[in-house]
Structures are given as C-alpha cells and as structure tokens.
Amino acid sequence: MSLTRRHAAASLGSLPLALAAPGAATAATARRRTTVHLAGDSTAATKQPTAAPETGWGMALPFFLADDRFTVANHAVNGRSSKSFYDEGRLAPILAALRPGDLLLVQFGHNDEKIEDPARGTDPQTTYPQYLRLYLDGARERGAHPVLLTSVERRKFDAAGTAQPTHGAYPDAVRRLARAERVPLLDIQASSIALWQRLGPEVTQDYFNWLEPGESPNYPAGLQDNTHFQPHGAIEVARLVARELAARRVLRPRDLRRLDAAIPDSWITW
C-alpha cells in the first residue's frame, strides 16, 4: 500500500480511541478490511526511488478508499502483459492471498500490444481474453470479485490537438470479455482519453513524465514519456478508477472518500 507515513498517521488519528488503541478492537478492525489486489503493468506499478518522479496510479489509489475498510495490495509490475505476468507465476501468490469478498482489479494491455515479443504479445481476439479469463476464474474460485479495466490511455494528440487512441483492438476485447463473463468493467481507456482531451496537449505534459534537462537527478538529460505518469497524473488516474468503482457499484459511497478533493503531489512517496 503506497500511503505515506504522514497519511497513515492522519488516518489513524481520525479513528475513535477504542479502535485506535491496541488490543482486540484493533485486530477486529483489521480483520474487517477488504483487500483490493491490483494486477497490472508499469502504468499502475509501485516505483522505486531511482525512477522518481515516475508514479504508478496504483500508488495513489489508497487515497480514495476508506482506509478503515480497505487495504490496497499493488502487485503490478513494469513491463508485464497478461501473458508474461501469468507465465512468470505472478498470479499464483495473488490467488493464494485472496479471501472471500476481496477485489482483484486487472489492467493489462500496454505490453500485450507488443506482438513482436513472444513472451508478452497476445492477440486481442484470442490469447488476450484467454489469459484474462485465468485471472477472473482464479478470483471467483476463491470467492473474490474480479474487476476488469481497459488500459489507461497514452498521451497522443494530432495536429489539431485532438487526443488519439493508441491501444487498437485491445480495449474492445476487454469490453467484450466483461460482458461475456458478467464482471464489472472500469473503462479507464475511455475516461482517461476524455480527460486528456479536456486538458489538452500542453497541460497533459505535467501529468505524464515530461521533464526538462536537469529537472530530475534521475533523468539528467530530461525526458518525454507519454506513457507513464508524474504524481499528479497518477493521482488523477486513480481518481478515475475510484469514480468508476462507484459508478459500477463495485463499491458503495461510504467505501470511498476524497473523490473531489485535491491530493497534494507530495503525498506520493517512492
């Protein structure tokens, strides 16, 4: 869970004394928490300090969930597809940790699109949904609730300043699978491209990992990354995810918080 110490302390301070005190009450409160597991790629993953300010949206998701009800377990890993994540054995420990009532959010696609790489590439009509079904079936077998996400959109604009889709047939494959399997769909591709369109080409540079030379010691030559986020972008994508969780009735209003609040970038740590 990517909460900072400051955020965690504030959260504990807001609890009633009976719950914040050590002992049976605290243990009972912890047992009532639902774990939100996240399987995905670098757009969601927790980053190391050497990558800062690159930030995965999974690092910001806890800010929008009631922390007396939920814990976030971010299993997303840089560079993985639905196939390579599974083939490397990364799904197995998630399934082992799932408890009845937990959530499993599944967002792959960026690296599934790399069809030139046999370790990662999948076909949107065949192998992509086949691999995604392994996540859905595994969660349901354990009494947990799988949730499919379309891939967050990259930053790409045409000469007229219109945000362009970049994921080809993969988002539609997720949408079809969600309908066929009757699982909730968070259409983050649609909501994120709409957000980038509202913000426009210049403002979105501050959301993605665009850096001037010398701006960050980790990227002394600067960077123009249209896939990964700076803290502000990760926070806003996590906000989209939280809103979709509410809109699809995966979570109730009391399960969420801060949906319209400003979250300081400084609350993100690596």
Question: What are the tens digits of pLDDT across the range 134-148?
Answer: 999 999 999 999 999
Q: Distance between CA 195 and CA 199 in Å, rounded?
A: 6
Angle, CA of 215, 217 and 220, to the nearest 5°? 70
Choose the catalytic residue: 2, 42, 82, 192.
Answer: 42
In the residue annotation, 14 being an active-site residue is answered as no
CATH number of 5-267: 3.40.50.1110
Question: Is residue 75 flagged as an active site residue?
Answer: no
Given the residues 14, 88, 141, 212, the one annotated as active site? 212
For 110, half-sphere exposure in the C-beta direction (CA atoms, 13 angstrom radius) is 24
Mean pLDDT of 221-245: 98
Question: What is the pLDDT, as a whole number, of residue 31?
Answer: 56
Give the residue, 60 or 9, on which the prediction is more confident.
Answer: 60
Instruction: Say what the pTM is.
Output: 0.88
pLDDT in tens, 182-210: 999 999 999 999 999 999 999 999 999 99
Are the C-beta atoms of residues 189 and 151 closer than 8 Å to each other? yes
Which residue among 7, 145, 228, 232 is the active-site one? 228
Q: Determine the 3-state secondary structure of 157 from DSSP.
A: strand
- 42 counts as catalytic: yes
Integer Cα distance of 170 and 176 in angstroms: 10
Segment 58-90, tens digit of pLDDT: 999 999 999 999 999 999 999 999 999 999 999
